[in-house]
Amino acid sequence: MSANLTRRLRTAAAAVVLSAATVVPLALSASAAHAATRVDNPFVGAGVYVNPEWSANAAAEPGGSAIANQPTFVWLDRIAAINGVNGGMGLRDHLNAAVQQAAGKPYVFQVVIYDLPGRDCAALASNGELGPTDLPRYQSEFIDPIAAILADPAYANLRIVTTVELDSLPNLTTNAGGTATSTANCETMKANGNYVKGVGYALAKLGAIPNVYNYVDAGHHGWLGWDSNLQPAIDVIKQAAQSSGSTLSNVQGFVVNTANYGALHEPNFTVTDSVNGTSVRQSKWVDWNQYVDEASFAKAWRAKAVASGFNSNIGMIIDTSRNGWGGANRPAGPGPKTTVDAYVDGGRIDRRFQTGNWCNQSGAGLGERPKAAPEDGIAAYVWVKPPGESDGASQAVANDEGKGFDAMCDPTYTGNARNNNNMSGALANAPLAGHWFSSQFQELLKNAYPALGTSTGDTTAPTAPTGLAATATSSSVSLSWTASTDNVGVTGYNVYRGGTLVGSTNNTSYTDTGLTASTAYSYTVKAKDAAGNVSAASAALSVTTSAGGTTDTTAPTAPTNLAATTTSSSASLTWGASTDNVGVTGYNVYRGGTLIGSTTSTSYTDSGLSASTAYSYTVKAKDAAGNLSAAAAVTATTQAGTGTGGAGCTATYKVSSDWGAGFNADVTVTAGNTAIKSWKVTWTYAGNQQVTNLWNGTVSQSGQSVTVNNAGYNGAVAANGSTSFGFGGSYSGSNAVPTLTCTATS
């Protein structure tokens, strides 16, 4: 993400290592599917999810294994991210992995909700896929699916911490309303109210889930620390938290410094210091701000928010992923008291030219590692922005992610008046926002504070883990051990199979999967501490996996009472649950003898059918050993269509942008002389085009044949009226425009 420009008003008075493989969902009984008891601070007494994808990227970097076990937030920054992008893990995959890591203990899962219409109106590198008026899409295609997944009983025992819509509401305070820093995009978002409505909707939907803890973005001290900004920003957030059906109780706290670089503490000066009778607030760096670091700002924000009506138990979390400012340039003490600027500039930890420099900053380092309740008034230090993920590209890059180019990511840019026309401080050769940036990761390691490894002076290794024990199945080994101790605290454990590192965890348990049946494996575990020291290995443990499930030949019972209800284009099936000696893992659904889908529930909807047509369905249960039950069967006839068929609508296709390997296209659906209630557009590509993400409709693609049905909100079209949908796609070779067929019901 790339916003976090200084964005403040001024007046004459004052300036102002886990595997990335998808984890199979754990089956829960009805009695086990209960939410964890809500607590004031979800981080206390709980482990925190380690993202396997980020962990693998970190571990692949030289020196990266020292932090690869740290917990980071999962970012949902576009609709496609919910199900996973480019073969990566989706939200449900991450949650399943979190359940496995938790192993039944209190556990926090952290996720960023970040796809608001007109997102990040004062910047370019983190612009999103949704336009300023796309609130219905944001609600139905982004928030609703996320809420449905988070509410799954399989995840009820997790403490799910959300960071809701970074930068949006602070932008309304400093960059809209005719201020000196206003932008046209922010004025639009203030006028249409979609930031306030969207955040309110997200808080209401997510806050209704008992184990979700919502934290709203509160900018950072270099953005909202002025008197004219802080209280107005709280007021805007309060307005949003009471809109679209939400209440203030849906806000559990606030997050500051997300993806920014503000120092956690400035140890060498305070805002109340003076030099030769001149206040530190008058220095060029502080610029009349009331706060000089993130900790003091966060505590003041909390007090003012509670005074403004937010619940008295709200918590503050601080993103410390990139605000360490260690390395050779870290001041050893206060600056000289010759002038106030010399005093502040000589002693300040934050080495940026100005707090408005926000993109891929040179000299930045890892800050405090994530920890719960680290100081009074702070719920946790967290790593919202995963270290090594870019803030924005250093030059324009064509992409299908809706991300533009912001000159503040160009290291040669000197055109920002708010930066006094000095260099942006950005690193060169940066990729798109959110993409892996090895040079930045190495910069953060080099300048980490507290430093990594033994540079802190601590050479005392943790004690070796004891009591290593295991239980095995035919394909996995679940290990547990007794915690190690250390003078600076144990931060995690490395697990080795046959001397090879197979994973890391911050718990005292780990499950190794994908093993071979009837095979002996040897394991050892080592503890590591905050200084990077590694303990001696635990006593080795030899474990033999079981013979496997092939000896189980007992099939589940057949599903019972298979029934169907139909519309003109769909059949909704339901059945009674099957039973089995090793447990039913799901059901296969067949139409006319052909497998069309699988489900873990006892219902399934088959869509895209023809009106007035008989379809034959069978359903079979399957168990953990792979056995299939006998089939239950039913015949269902779809209802008669009431529309005009092919004459009911027409559709036109237009490629709006094409960059050689990918493209965006828009399709306009126009009703005929009769109003229609629903529509479907089909086509067959002549080339190898693939639809990757689509909005304002639901898509299915088989080979080169594509079918798009209307979304729930745009199926009804007035006579001779029109609606539209759009999508992004990929291809190689030809990108010829296909011939479309449109059918409708009226």
Nearest to 276 by CA among 345, 341, 347, 338: 338
> Residue 287: what pLDDT?
92
Instruction: Tell me the C-alpha distance between 223 and 335, whole Å.
Output: 24
CA-CA distances (angstroms) from residue 724 to 631, 670, 671? 42, 9, 11
β-pair partners for 623:
584
Nearest to 612 by CA among 588, 636, 640: 640
User: What confidence category does residue 10 fall into, taking pLDDT thresholds of 50, 70 and 90?
Assistant: very low
Q: How many CB atoms lie within 10 A of CB 200?
A: 21
Nearest to 308 by CA among 241, 243, 219: 241
Among the listed residues 77, 93, 120, 167, the single catalytic one is: 167
Nearest to 728 by CA among 1, 129, 288, 208: 129
| H/E element, 669 | strand 662-671
Written as six digits, the tokens of 602 are 């006892």
User: What confidence category does residue 178 fall into, taking pLDDT thresholds of 50, 70 and 90?
Assistant: low
Among the listed residues 77, 134, 287, 391, the single catalytic one is: 391
Instruction: Tell me the C-alpha distance between 467 and 472, whole Å.
Output: 16
| H/E element, 342 | helix 340-347
For residues 685 and 730, is the Cβ–Cβ distance under 8 A?
no
| Positive/negative CA dihedral, 259, 264, 268, 270 | positive
Q: How many CA atoms lie within 13 A of 51 on its CB side?
A: 23
Query: Average pLDDT, stretch 314-327?
Result: 96
> Residue 417: what pLDDT?
61
Written as six digits, the tokens of 268 are 């060498």
Instruction: Tell me the C-alpha distance between 732 and 124, whole Å.
Output: 29
For 496-536, the pLDDT digits (tens) are 888 877 777 777 888 888 888 888 999 999 988 766 678 89
User: What confidence category does residue 369 fall into, taking pLDDT thresholds of 50, 70 and 90?
Assistant: very high
> Is 350 one of the catalytic residues?
no
> Is 658 one of the catalytic residues?
no
Q: Is the peptide bond before 465 cis (omega within 30 degrees of 0)?
A: no
Nearest to 680 by CA among 568, 571, 596: 568
Domains identified in the chain and CATH numbers: 47-446 (3.20.20.40), 466-543 (2.60.40.10), 552-637 (2.60.40.10), 646-745 (2.60.40.290)
Which distant-in-sequence residues (6+ apart) come within 8 Å of 437 by Cβ?
360, 388, 389, 390, 427, 430, 431
> Residue 30: what pLDDT?
29
- The two counts, helices (H) then strands (E), for the chain are 12, 33
> Residue 548: what pLDDT?
63
| H/E element, 665 | strand 662-671
For the ranges 32-41, 253-262, 379-388, the lowest mean pLDDT is seen at 32-41
User: What confidence category does residue 274 fall into, taking pLDDT thresholds of 50, 70 and 90?
Assistant: very high
**Tokens 């069967």, residue located:** 633
pTM for this structure? 0.60
DSSP 727: E
